[in-house]
Each structure stands twice: as C-alpha cells, then as structure tokens.
C-alpha cells in the first residue's frame, strides 16, 4: 500500500462508524474529561488559597507547581506504574494497574499543576478590591471568594482547556498504567502507537486524524461558548449568589 492509498483508507476509517474506533474515541474523551474535572475540583480551591491568602512558603509552593507543569509524562507514568504495581507497589492493593481509573488518576495528577498555576495567575490578576467590594455589599467570606472566582472565570476556563488538551494528548501515563488492553484501556494515543507497532499505519493515521479533529473541534466549541458567555451568558452567572 503506498502512502496515498494509506491516507485515503485512514480517512475513510476515521469517518466510518467502526465500533472499535468509536469506543476508543469515547473512552479517550471520558478518561481525559474525568481527569480534567477531578484536577479542576481540587486544583481551583488550591489556586484560590494560594492566590488569596498570605502564608509562609507561598512563593515556594507556587514555584513547585510552576515547575511541575513541564514534568515528562514518561517519568510520571513510570512512577505511577511503580506505585500501582500489584506485587510491590505501595498502592498495589487497589488493583488499579492497567485500568482506565489508573489513567484518570495519572492524568489528573499530570494536569493539576497546569490548573493550579494558570488559575492562580488568573485569580491574582483580579482587582484585589473585588473582595472588599463584595463584602461591603454584604457578602460573606465565601461569597466574596466566589465573586473573585467569577471575575477570574475566563482565565480558569483557559486553564481547563489547556489541561484537557494536555490530558488527551499524552502517551506516557496511558502506556505505563493503562497498557494496551483491547476493549478496556485502549485510548487514541496508545492506539496510534500500538497500531503502528502492529504494522497498521492506516489505522494509526485514522486515530491520529480523529485525535486532532477532536482536539480542534472541542477547542473551537469551548472558545465559541466562552465568547457567547462574554456577550450574553455572563449575566446568568451573576444571578446566583
């Protein structure tokens, strides 16, 4: 098969309704989406505390989170493999190795520094008087913090998009703790790798096309939502106190 035939075949496969391709795509979305959600749930409170509270070691914590943004996925994947290893790993008893849950946990850890660092920057960029403004209008401490988060929403939204992109595009963690179990842990990135190893470049290209199309489409839609929110939806956010 020459390169052109290979490309045509892979494009046909990309837009076909092959159940396996659909399953891999949906699993990738679920795993990366869950990781982004978990990282957001614990990352935003951490970012809020770092940005809004003064405490000893604040600079050090910020530096650590900033440094961890660039952690190689292979290194983190290997560390998690050792931790989840069923025979000798400290978390082996959880029996999570080679499950989608392990990949979700690994990716959530991977993207937490991104969420924390970007959200901290976004919250710190909000006018510090917003807290006092909310308080003088009657807000409690938590309502005032929430008002700051609303002001930082664009930056937090961006942090979410960047994190999701990092999660869905990473390979190291998925390989080490997810493996390549057919029908169970196969993802778009691991699928691209394994199909190439098995001598199926057409399928690899098809999965790559899906991955790129998906990332592009999701970013396009999220950015469009963000624009609409800026124009029309934002007031809705202020209807809750």
Partner 1 sequence: MEAIAVLRNVTKTFAKKKVLDNINLQILDGEILALLGPNGSGKTTLLKILASILRPTDGEIHFRGVKVTDQNVEKIRMESTLVFQKTVLFSTTVYDNIAYGLRIRRATKNEIDYKVAQVLKLVRLEGFEKRSAKKLSGGEQQRVALARALALNTRLLLLDEPTANLDPKNARIIEEAIATTNRELKTTIVMATHNMFQAKNLPHRIALMEDGRITEVGTSKEIFGRLSKTLASFAAVENTFAGTAKTSEDGSTLIDVGNGIQIVAAAKNVGEVSVFVNPEDIILSKSHFESSARNMFKGKIVEILDLGSIVRLRVDVGKPFTVQITKRSFNEMGLNLNTEVFLAFKASSIQIV
The span of 56-64, 84-92, 116-124, 133-141 binding partner 1 (CB under 8 A) equals: 133-141
Total count of residues recorded for the chain: 241
Which of 11/146 has CB closer to partner 1? 146
The least CB distance from residue 129 to partner 1, in Å, is 5
Question: Judged by CB under 8 A, does residue 138 bind partner 1?
Answer: yes
Contact 120, 44 (CB under 8 A): no
Cα–Cα distance measured from residue 35 to residue 99, given in angstroms and rounded to the nearest whole number: 14
Q: Which of 69, 150, 214, 215 lies at the binding interface for partner 1 (CB under 8 A)? A: 150
Cα–Cα distance measured from residue 189 to residue 179, given in angstroms and rounded to the nearest whole number: 11
Q: Which of 19, 57, 199, 235 lies at the binding interface for partner 1 (CB under 8 A)? A: 235
Cα–Cα distance measured from residue 81 to residue 172, given in angstroms and rounded to the nearest whole number: 11
Measuring CA to CA, which residue among 201, 196, 183 is closest to residue 10?
Answer: 201
4 contact partners, CB below 8 Å, separation of at least 6? none
What's the token pair of residue 58? Answer: 């604040």
Q: Which of 116, 134, 173, 207 lies at the binding interface for partner 1 (CB under 8 A)? A: 134
What's the token pair of residue 114? Answer: 């991104």
Q: Which of 45, 94, 135, 169 lies at the binding interface for partner 1 (CB under 8 A)? A: 135
Residue written as token pair 């045509």:
8
What's the token pair of residue 196? Answer: 């190439």
The span of 29-37, 207-215, 216-224, 233-241 binding partner 1 (CB under 8 A) equals: 233-241
Cα–Cα distance measured from residue 78 to residue 181, given in angstroms and rounded to the nearest whole number: 18
Q: Which of 129, 182, 183, 199 lies at the binding interface for partner 1 (CB under 8 A)? A: 129
Question: Judged by CB under 8 A, does residue 238 bind partner 1?
Answer: yes
Which of 9/133 has CB closer to partner 1? 133
The least CB distance from residue 229 to partner 1, in Å, is 11
The footprint of partner 1 (CB under 8 A) covers 127, 129-130, 132-141, 143, 147, 150-151, 234-235, 237-239, 241
């Amino acid at each position: 098969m020459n390169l052109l035939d290979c490309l045509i075949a892979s494009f046909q496969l990309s837009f076909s309704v092959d159940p396996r391709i659909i399953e891999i795509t949906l699993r990738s979305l679920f795993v990366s989406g869950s990781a982004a959600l978990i990282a957001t749930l614990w990352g935003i409170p951490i970012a809020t505390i770092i940005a809004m509270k003064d405490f000893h070691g604040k600079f050090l914590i910020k530096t650590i989170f900033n440094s961890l943004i660039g952690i190689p996925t292979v290194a983190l994947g290997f560390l998690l493999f050792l931790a989840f290893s069923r025979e000798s790993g400290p978390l082996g008893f959880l029996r999570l190795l080679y499950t989608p849950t392990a990949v979700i946990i690994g990716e959530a850890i991977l993207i937490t520094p991104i969420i924390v660092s970007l959200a901290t920057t976004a919250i710190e960029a909000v006018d510090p008087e917003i807290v006092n403004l909310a308080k003088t209008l009657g807000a409690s401490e938590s309502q005032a913090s929430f008002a700051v988060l609303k002001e930082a929403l664009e930056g937090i939204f961006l942090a979410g998009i960047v994190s999701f992109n990092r999660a869905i595009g990473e390979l190291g963690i998925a390989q080490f703790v997810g493996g390549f179990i057919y029908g169970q842990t196969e993802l778009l990135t691991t699928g691209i790798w394994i199909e190439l190893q098995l001598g199926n470049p057409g399928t690899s290209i098809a999965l790559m096309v899906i991955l790129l199309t998906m990332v592009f489409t999701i970013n396009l839609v999220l950015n469009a939502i963000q624009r609409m929110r800026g124009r029309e939806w934002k007031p809705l956010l202020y209807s809750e106190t």
